[in-house]
Structure 1
């Protein structure tokens, strides 16, 4: 006959927290404020002229003081966690501050120039060393060149990614993957030299916006392949297997099931690739040249673009009026790229799978 002994609840060992003490929630902010004040004080007393040096001293103090305070109050285990968190925050700030500073400075320099006249007029008949002029011809050229590059690169990149994910097996797939990786790191000047040698010199075509589009397509293609490939890999295999079980051919499964499922990510990747090539300057300088007038035909004659326009106004014109026009064009270019990124994010959110569907 067995007996069961019941231990009273009061006699059971209570769980012990890993650390007895915790820093208040406002402690990191207080440490950051104190570190900044102390870093600025050290920089001022030490005679350091660079504000960057003051910031670096503040960063080191923030990490060190945060770790020491946490180790004393919370223990070493929690201190290591706070140290990792502090390093992550510091890295985030170091990445964001230059971007914000660049954007703010560009807005300050270019907002006074950008208006209706600046967006609707070209530089034809305008004295380069004087006021006036606009970016309409450069804006038209950029839109046409990027559109042509997208029409060439997006279908090829999409089909290449479909082959690698759905059909690619063996040596050929490895070779294609290798060359896609190599093309991802090809400098833009190399792509421009290749098109210059093949299209303009060997085949005898004139300099035009289309020549620049060919080089931009080369730069855009591997980005489209990589982004599309990753999106296709995210499509669950259960969808493919269910389609095959119903007797649907593979090509129709890809067309009706796989591609629509991944279309949001594919569109986002294409838009980001477009944003990547919009600011390229080297291929345009080599293949398109520049024009002060409006050239609506990208297949004949030199054509202007926003990156080329910025370079010409800042380096060639080299006066206050040229600097102002360059900063205005840079602001428009940043706004254009930012708009493409926002469109890509909107499409990704719109096409993302919804809960319950």
Structure 2
């Protein structure tokens, strides 16, 4: 090998090492910036939110400016709407995901449904809220918790659908073949074998969908709006944490802003808890 070739090879090695070092440095710097931003958010949330937490937050309704109050009505309203939304989303999402995994296959219709599900998965939540407003609010001339639950369900459905399809697709083919060999119809195999085998993954998808919708504000501004009083009647405007946080955080009253920080901390804690639970379920060892 000539000296020129040796020098060219050594030069390429040096350039590759420099490029690799530069790329690693860039990754470290970007990661540090992201962690620094996350730490700043968590610090502000904890420093501001912990100061507003007390027993009144969980026992009293949202107050007038300068009055003693809490977030009890907003907490209950959020829980009711999220639970109703998850019931709707689980029924639709599990059935849609099951159809895509077990019946649609690679058909053209199945591909269209998957594409539409992906579009809905990335759709801005404010558009979902506007759609439900035109569908369930404007025709009935009133905001309601039911409309808010439907809007949240539309945000959760594509997450559950995608997760259900992926989890069922990962189930081994011998499970289906064994059921068919015994003469069982596919619908019976899905209900008694595949759903049981994939329940951990399906539950994880449901928890992740719940974590996504628990802090949504834009759809609820168009549908549930808010209610200053305690009520479990979802046929009327319903109090909820995201909208209360949005309104109180923009106010000029210190007591309202403290409640807004406390509500933000509650939502963050709920999302963190649900996410950790979903990760724990996902890491659960599969039974043979």
Query: Normalised by the shorter chain, which TM-score bucket?
Result: 0.7 to 0.9
Distance 1:97 1:152 in 2: 38
- State the structure with bigger RCO (CA 8 A, min sep 6), 1 or 2: 2
Distance 1:164 1:349 in 2: 25
TM-score (norm 2): 0.88
2:240 is the counterpart of 1:305: yes
2:217 is the counterpart of 1:278: no
Distance 1:335 1:197 in 2: 33
Corresponding residue number in structure 2 for 1:353: 286
Corresponding residue number in structure 2 for 1:263: 199
Match of 1:333 among 267, 272, 276: 267
The structure-2 alpha-carbon separation of the partners of 1:233 and 1:92, relative to structure 1 and needing over 3 Å to count, comes to farther
The structure-2 alpha-carbon separation of the partners of 1:96 and 1:228, relative to structure 1 and needing over 3 Å to count, comes to farther
Corresponding residue number in structure 1 for 2:278: 344
Residue by residue, what CA displacement relative to the aligned partner does 1:250-280 show, whole Å, maximum 9, x if unpaired? 2222122221221111111111111101111
Corresponding residue number in structure 2 for 1:206: 142
* CA drift at 1:86: 4.1
Corresponding residue number in structure 2 for 1:137: 73
More deviation, 159-168/227-236: 227-236
Corresponding residue number in structure 2 for 1:192: 129
Instruction: State the superposition RMSD in angstroms.
Output: 2.3
* CA drift at 1:333: 1.0
The number of residue pairs the alignment matches comes to 277
Match of 1:296 among 232, 242, 252: 232
Distance 1:254 1:81 in 2: 49
Which residues of structure 2 form unaligned runs of 5+? 1-9
Distance 1:238 1:80 in 2: 48
Residue by residue, what CA displacement relative to the aligned partner does 1:2-31 show, whole Å, maximum 9, x if unpaired? xxxxxxxxxxxxxxxxxxxxxxxxxxxxxx
Distance 2:23 2:193 in 1: 43
Match of 1:112 among 39, 45, 51: 51
* CA drift at 1:337: 1.0
Kept in 1: contact 2:60–2:70 (CA 8 A): yes
Kept in 1: contact 2:137–2:144 (CA 8 A): no
The structure-2 alpha-carbon separation of the partners of 1:234 and 1:95, relative to structure 1 and needing over 3 Å to count, comes to farther
Corresponding residue number in structure 2 for 1:232: 168
Distance 1:244 1:83 in 2: 57
* CA drift at 1:346: 2.6
Kept in 1: contact 2:171–2:194 (CA 8 A): yes
Match of 2:253 among 292, 295, 319: 319
Kept in 1: contact 2:78–2:214 (CA 8 A): yes
Distance 2:59 2:124 in 1: 33
Residue by residue, what CA displacement relative to the aligned partner does 1:202-260 show, whole Å, maximum 9, x if unpaired? 3x263111111111111111111112211112212233233333433222221222212
Distance 1:132 1:327 in 2: 16
* CA drift at 1:335: 0.8
Note the 1:62-101 alignment, pairs <5 A: 83-101=22-40
Corresponding residue number in structure 2 for 1:147: 83
Distance 2:44 2:35 in 1: 14
